[in-house]
Amino acid sequence: MCFFFQGTLKSIMAACIVLTFFGCNPPEDENVKKEMYYHKKEFEVKLQQYLDNKIKTLKIPGVSLYIDIPGQLPVSISAGVSDKDAGTRLRPLDRFRIASVTKTFTAAAVLLSAEKGLLSLDDSVEKWLPGSVPNAKKITVRHLLQHTSGISDYYQGEKGIKKQVSSNPLKVWTPGELIEIGASMSPLSDPGQRWAYSNTGYVMLGLIIEKAWGTSYKNVIHSNLLEPLGLNDTYVPSDKVIPGSHAHGYADLSGDGVLEDVTDLEPSVIWSAGGMISNTKDLVCWAKALYGGNVLNEKSMKEMYSFTDTGYENIQYGFGVYKYPQEGIVGHDGDFMGFSSQMLYDINSKLAIAVLTNRLPPHATDIVIEVLQLLSQQ
């Protein structure tokens, strides 16, 4: 969950920052280009100073950030290290585990399935995964997308596997095992009654996607979302390895203040609910494409923005997307085993920002808030 200070984005709007959509060309006038370049460099210096100080005060090994501001050159910057032991400096486009930001891809795949007539959002869970959970006949695909199914979370719940994962992160899990654990707990509510975050529901959606398309979840995501958009640093992993230049993840598992390297993780434990890998540039491109209407048709966009109250003040949730208190601000965060992520998009101004860190806690959302405050001062 992520929370924005009430004044943060309002101050940006008051500052009259004019934003553009991804793919727009910068001005052709050379004088304007030079002015933009120097303005960008000035902001990058301030931002670098901020990030350098932030990793020290929060004791974060590293942080990567990408901002796309309309009418300006994009800003890609990082601070700290990707590997504490080796002392390897973190590069701006290094890859991270993105945790629950994965849900934005899963939800989009489900909505694409509906567009192609492969399923209906009002299909029951019983139709696709018969007997998998209590109330399967009453729970719909729509409920799973919106976290209103009432199904308990297999990870955080009363019988959740969080401690097991911390002690044995390389254990391989099947989606069926994860769903069975969630189903073994008492339902949180009747279907549609109230909002309750459930990774179980999004693992179920992964299986439904596979049945609807007749191929693997990974194939659906790569062929229909990643490849068409050229998101070459984003993928659904098949094993514990993060290939290429990437950040190591760190967490204080024992509570003694010592950070342990938790990079190697069996992704099946979070799969379609949070198993994907990406970098900040790809996430900004994804945010602009998804929320800008270049991935889904108009009907699907309306469905995606079917928001319900979460119980947190002025925070709502649609289909794999949060709506924040400020008008037009949407996105998703993710926290899991040494990694924290935040992807944010302003529907009105078209600003997009992504922040990834390789320690949990603290949360990437905290950095996003302060970066936007810095931006509003420009």
Is 2 inside a domain boundary? no
Of 315, 111, 316, 308, whose CA–CA distance to 191 is shortest? 308
Average pLDDT over residues 61-80: 94
For 220, which DSSP code?
Answer: H
Integer Cα distance of 2 and 291 in angstroms: 18
Is 1 inside a domain boundary? no
Is 234 inside a domain boundary? yes
Domains: count for the chain: 1
Is 3 inside a domain boundary? no
Instruction: Provide the residue type at 289 as one letter.
Output: A
**pLDDT over 90 for what percent of the chain?**
79
The pLDDT mean for the chain works out to 89
Average pLDDT over residues 141-145: 98
31 pLDDT more than 70: no
Instruction: Provide the residue type at 325 as one letter.
Output: P
Average pLDDT over residues 21-33: 41
pLDDT tens digit sequence for 179-235: 999 999 999 999 999 999 999 999 999 999 999 999 999 999 999 999 999 999 999
- By residue range, what is the domain housing residue 243? 8-376
Cβ contact 369:5 at 8 Å:
yes
* Kind and range of the H or E run holding 52: helix 30-58
Average pLDDT over residues 27-53: 71
pLDDT tens digit sequence for 110-122: 999 999 999 999 9
Is 113 inside a domain boundary? yes
Is 145 inside a domain boundary? yes
Is 356 inside a domain boundary? yes
Average pLDDT over residues 127-137: 97
Comparison of pLDDT for 24 and 102, the residue scoring more: 102
- Residue 234: CB atoms within 10 A of its CB come to 25
Predicted TM-score (pTM) of the model is 0.91
Q: How distant, in Å, are the alpha carbons of 40, 65, 77, 135, 281 from that of 45? A: 9, 14, 10, 55, 19
CATH of the domain at 44: 3.40.710.10
**Can you give the pLDDT at residue 2?**
38
96 pLDDT more than 50: yes
Is 357 inside a domain boundary? yes
